[in-house]
């Protein structure tokens, strides 16, 4: 996808031949932007490794003798990082599983099948995207924590996020691009829809699966408000919640509170950042754009 995207850009750059000054200016603006976006991440890692905090400018380029993993040990004594990661993993994994299974099914039905209610269902998928989750905060809390008794359970955490509607739109968009004749032919040969979906359609939309999984992953992994409301039991809290509780309550009683907080932040941020760097070519504008625009 990246190569496809590069082509028009190169062509456009040649149109009208930019002046040297403009090219330099553009480079400076973009590079400055990159520094502004990346510096806090660099500083997060530096701060997490500093044994003694140094908030001066010199502290951004620390002396190697002041670097250690002490902060990771300290934060791990207060919040169990491994259990936090496991809970974040279960929460995210549950959402991914439901989104891939049920999202692919509804995406396929919306793109490939003709049935009454198809248009209404697609309108619903679009509508769901603009409903602010925070309006649902109170009724969902009453229903899930109080009425269904799902407080302090992974199921209660997963339920409101179970099927990501943006992923549904991405699946639909990709299924729409598949040649219809292929499916008509297979149907005449007597193949069932589930078989068509599994052995013809799915292998052809593998990039959509990766894009949708990436996009869905960041929701539950980074979510704070909902798991914060629903889990009081520390052993069930995802890492984002236990780190936030650490920031807002107990950090002050540690020798190097910022070092310990930043060490926790590195552990929370690292999986997503690594995932997105590895799979960056699946997270490009065309796919996302089609996902959000519908």
How far apart are CB 191 and other proteins at their closest, in Å? Answer: 13
Compare residues 68 and 258 and give the one whose CB is closer to other proteins: 258
Counted residue by residue, the chain has a size of 294
Site string for other proteins, 114-153 (x = CB under 8 A): xxxxx--x--xx--x-xxxxxxxxxxxxxx--xx-x----
Which two structure tokens, joined as six digits, stand for 195? 């078989």
Nearest-approach distance from CB 206 to other proteins, in angstroms: 20
Burial class (CB within 10 angstroms; exposed 0-12, middle 13-18, buried 19+) of 234: middle
Q: What is the CA radius of gyration of the chain?
A: 24
Q: How far is the CB of 290 from other proteins (least distance, A)?
A: 8
Rounded to an integer, what distance in angstroms lies between the CA atom of residue 96 and that of residue 102?
10
Total of chain residues touching other proteins, rule CB under 8 A: 106
Separation of CA 171 from chain center = 16
Query: Which residues, 174 to 233, sit near other proteins by CB under 8 A?
Result: 193, 218, 221-222, 224-225, 229
Q: How far apart are CA 241 and CA 221, in angstroms?
A: 10
Question: Which of 49, 95, 110, 208 is in the footprint of other proteins by CB under 8 A?
Answer: 110
Q: Which is nearer to other proteins, 208 or 262 (CB)?
A: 262
Residue numbers 49-88 binding other proteins by CB under 8 A: 55-57, 59-60
253 belongs to the binding site for other proteins (CB under 8 A): no
| 10: contact with other proteins by CB under 8 A | yes
Tokens 């082509």 -> residue = 7
94/90 Cα distance (integer angstroms) = 6
């Amino acid at each position: 996808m990246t190569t496809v995207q590069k082509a028009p850009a190169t062509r456009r750059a040649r149109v009208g031949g930019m002046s040297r000054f403009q090219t330099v200016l553009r480079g400076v603006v973009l590079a400055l932007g990159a520094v502004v976006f990346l510096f806090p991440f660099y500083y997060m890692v530096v701060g997490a490794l500093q044994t003694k905090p140094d908030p001066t400018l010199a502290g951004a380029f620390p002396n190697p003798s002041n670097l250690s993993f002490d902060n990771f040990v300290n934060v791990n004594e207060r919040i169990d990082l491994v259990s936090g990661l496991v809970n974040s993993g279960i929460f995210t994994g549950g959402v991914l599983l439901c989104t891939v299974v049920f999202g692919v099914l509804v995406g396929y039905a919306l793109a490939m099948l003709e049935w009454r209610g198809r248009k209404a269902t697609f309108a619903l998928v679009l509508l769901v995207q603009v409903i602010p989750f925070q309006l649902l905060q109170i009724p969902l809390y009453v229903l899930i924590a109080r009425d269904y008794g799902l407080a302090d359970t992974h199921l209660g955490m997963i339920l409101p996020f179970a099927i990501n509607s943006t992923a549904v739109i991405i699946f639909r968009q990709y299924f729409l691009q598949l040649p219809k004749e292929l499916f008509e032919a297979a149907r005449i040969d007597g193949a069932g829809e589930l078989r068509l979906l599994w052995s013809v359609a799915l292998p052809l939309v593998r990039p959509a699966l990766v894009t949708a999984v990436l996009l869905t992953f960041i929701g539950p992994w980074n979510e704070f408000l909902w798991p914060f409301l629903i889990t009081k039991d520390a052993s069930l809290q995802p890492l984002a919640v236990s780190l936030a509780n650490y920031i807002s309550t107990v950090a002050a009683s540690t020798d190097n509170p910022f070092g310990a907080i930043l060490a926790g932040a590195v552990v929370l941020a690292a999986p997503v950042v690594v995932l997105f760097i590895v799979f960056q070519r699946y997270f490009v504008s065309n796919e996302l754009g089609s996902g959000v625009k519908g």
